[in-house]
Amino acid sequence: DGGITQSPKYLFRKEGQNVTLSCEQNLNHDAMYWYRQDPGQGLRLIYYSQIVNDFQKGDIAEGYSVSREKKESFPLTVTSAQKNPTAFYLCASNRDGASPLHFGNGTRLTVT
Amino acid sequence: EDQVTQSPEALRLQEGESSSLNCSYTVSGLRGLFWYRQDPGKGPEFLFTLYSAGEEKEKERLKATLTKKESFLHITAPKPEDSATYLCAGTNFGNEKLTFGTGTRLTIIP
């Protein structure tokens, strides 16, 4: 079955450490996205990529970095510069901007 | 700036009690309006896309409608398994980004 795989499901880190969240898709979608979800807030876009080796900042990119070396993969690094990293992170993909997003099941990151 | 507002924040219904969720949007040049369902601890699951005012789409007990200013998700005779958070999002012709509402948390009581 095609879909998006995010790993790990839960991640715990100490403050000051960088951490990388994995996102892999086998839907053959060109576009991939990272969102952050916090209680009481809508999903907020961190970064997106419409093609391999190219990506754009979303609305809340500060303290995050991404790479897109392969069509299937779009890892997100949460750096120590992110002031409030504890959140639920969602990866998504779609065929193009007008198509529905397909989401993974998220990674819950806790930084203490 | 594009904005999507959902109401109510939370809704509790008895099993079988029909109701509607609202999504009002100010998206210049709306390209598409999307509805998603999200269960706790999971990613959102796509339900519907609406493209133009007057359009309606149905799936089981759910029906989504679109006007020039808002969208409704009607739920008819809901069951406990319909309990979830329902998210609405809009995209415009100017960019490839979705603007999400904060969702309506729906609880169906047996």
The pLDDT averaged over each successive group of 10 residues in chain A (112 residues) is: 90 94 96 94 93 95 97 96 95 88 96 93
Are B103 and A42 in contact (CB < 8 Å)?
Answer: yes
C-alpha distances in Å from residue A4, one per residue of A27, A70, A88, A94, B85: 8, 14, 16, 11, 20
Q: What local confidence, expressed as pLDDT, does residue A40 receive?
A: 82
What confidence category does residue B2 fall into, taking pLDDT thresholds of 50, 70 and 90?
Answer: confident
CB pairs under 8 A between A and B: 57
Place of tokens 């008895």: B14
Among candidate residues A88, A85, A1, A76, the one with its CA nearest the CA of residue A33: A76
Residue in B closest to A91 by C-alpha? B43
Note the pLDDT tens digit of each residue in B15-44: 999 999 999 998 778 889 999 999 999 999
Residue A99, C-beta contacts closer than 8 angstroms, at least 6 positions apart: none
Widest Cα–Cα separation across chain B? 45
Question: Three-state DSSP class for B81?
Answer: helix
d(CA B36, CA B38): 7
Q: In the prediction, which pLDDT does B29 show?
A: 81
Q: A69-78, pLDDT tens digit by residue? A: 999 999 999 9
pLDDT in tens, B50-91: 999 999 999 999 999 999 999 999 999 999 999 999 999 998
Whether the CB-CB separation of B33 and B23 falls below 8 Å is answered with yes
CA nearest to A31 within chain B: B96
Amino acid found at A47: Y
Any CB–CB contact under 8 A between A46 and chain B? no
Angle value at C-alpha A92, between A89 and A93, nearest 5 degrees? 160
How high is the pLDDT of residue B96? 67
B103 and A41: CB-CB below 8 Å?
no
Tell whether the model's pLDDT for residue B48 goes beyond 90: yes
What is the percentage of chain B residues whose pLDDT exceeds 90?
82
